[in-house]
Amino acid sequence: MNPDLAANNVVPDPLFHHTYKPNITFTTFPKKNDGFPPAKNVINSMGMRGPLPKEKEHTRVLLLGDSFVQADEVNFEDTFGQLLNQHFQNRMEFVSHGMVSWSPTPEFSWLHHQGFSLQPDHIVLFLCINDFFGPDIFHQTDAVYREQAIYKNGIPVAYDLPEPTWSKTLLIHSAIVRLTHQVYYKFQQTFKGADSDAPFNIATETIILSLKKTHWSDKTLKNVTETLDVVRSIKKASIRFGITLHVTLVPLPFFWPDEAVTGKALPPYNWPSNFTVSQNGIEEYIRGYIDNLGVNWIDLQYSFTKAKTESIIKLYNEVDGHWNTNGHQVVYQSLVDYFDFYNK
């Protein structure tokens, strides 16, 4: 196995389910048809990319999410978190932490064990559509993590990791379009003897969640709600530390016919190159739930739609499907506008 790969440097962890090995350096190289330059990743002793957070001097914002925030394909200085630090220097500071296939439950675990100790004033939680897949659809989704979690006072403080250890199971990045042709067949092997149709259901589940909740099954609605209940618990815990929670949903490339054309044509999607699907249904339900919690919403979908309307530039990697440097610029500008308005 090549040590210069992100997936090889992610290890099972009894506290966070999985995390980076601490104190390592690796380089992420583009796959065929992806054009991003090799990106160096330096992981600190806390398992976070970049230098250790310094002693707090200004209002601190913690940016927390999955592989879109992890952004191992983008040079550190070009990530939206570092662009925000450059813009808000001497006023606000931004600390980013993202981990492949994390969702609200392991994110809550990380906050409990590490994140809250960084003394953030704000947390921006980046949700992704596959956080809401059922356990029969995807083996690394919040429903699975909730089943594996060990709780203390309602907090997922540890994990009962399955046997054989998940290091023998392929770790799939939370941007589902990262399931390239080669990766897919490895993924398919993990389901033999179980539900061999599960990988094929990812495409269907993505379409179902694009619809209004009236088109969802009771099972889907229950799972989505239980995943959002974890966000409710994160908000409750954040309040105890005097932290304000903000929530957003990661815009995926499927909404535009010219984005990730190669990626969405590969298994498990096998979609036509010009196929599009929105996240309108799941976003509407999340926003309603979040609004009832009194949590602030950051509308990244609006920012990406505006950017795509105004320019023909690509915002996503062609196969990988994560935000490219242009996409990070859009997230950066969206958060600049948001926090400028918020701080008025």
What tens digit of pLDDT does each residue of 112-127 get?
999 999 999 999 999 9
Quote the pLDDT of residue 35.
84
* DSSP strand pairing (149-152 vs 155-159): antiparallel
Helix 218-240 vs helix 280-293: crossing angle, to nearest 10 = 40
Which residue do the tokens 């601490």 mark? 22
**Cα–Cα separations (whole angstroms), residue 47 to 6, 9, 26, 109, 137:** 12, 10, 13, 14, 29
Instruction: Quote the CATH superfamily of domain 7-342.
Output: SGNH hydrolase (3.40.50.1110)
* DSSP strand pairing (24-28 vs 17-20): unpaired
Task: Write down the mean pLDDT value for the chain.
Answer: 89
Residues of the chain scoring pLDDT < 70: 1-7, 163-200
Quote the pLDDT of residue 164.
52
What does the radius of gyration of the chain's CA atoms come to, in whole angstroms? Answer: 19
Quote the pLDDT of residue 273.
86
Quote the pLDDT of residue 8.
76
Q: Indicate the pTM of the whole model.
A: 0.91
CA distance 42 to 22: 9
Burial class for 45, CB neighbours closer than 10 Å (0-12, 13-18, 19+) = exposed
Q: Say if CB 247 and CB 295 are below 8 A apart.
A: yes
Q: Say if CB 330 and CB 46 are below 8 A apart.
A: no
Strand partners, 245: 123
Nearest C-alpha neighbor of 2 from the set 26, 33, 36: 26
For residue 301, the SS3 value is helix
DSSP designation for 21: P
List of residues 6+ apart from 28 with CB closer than 8 A: 4, 5, 6, 38, 39, 41, 72, 73
CA distance 185 to 325: 29
Quote the pLDDT of residue 268.
81
**Cα–Cα separations (whole angstroms), residue 100 to 6, 231, 330:** 9, 18, 21
For residue 134, the SS3 value is coil
Nearest C-alpha neighbor of 268 from the set 197, 203, 172: 203
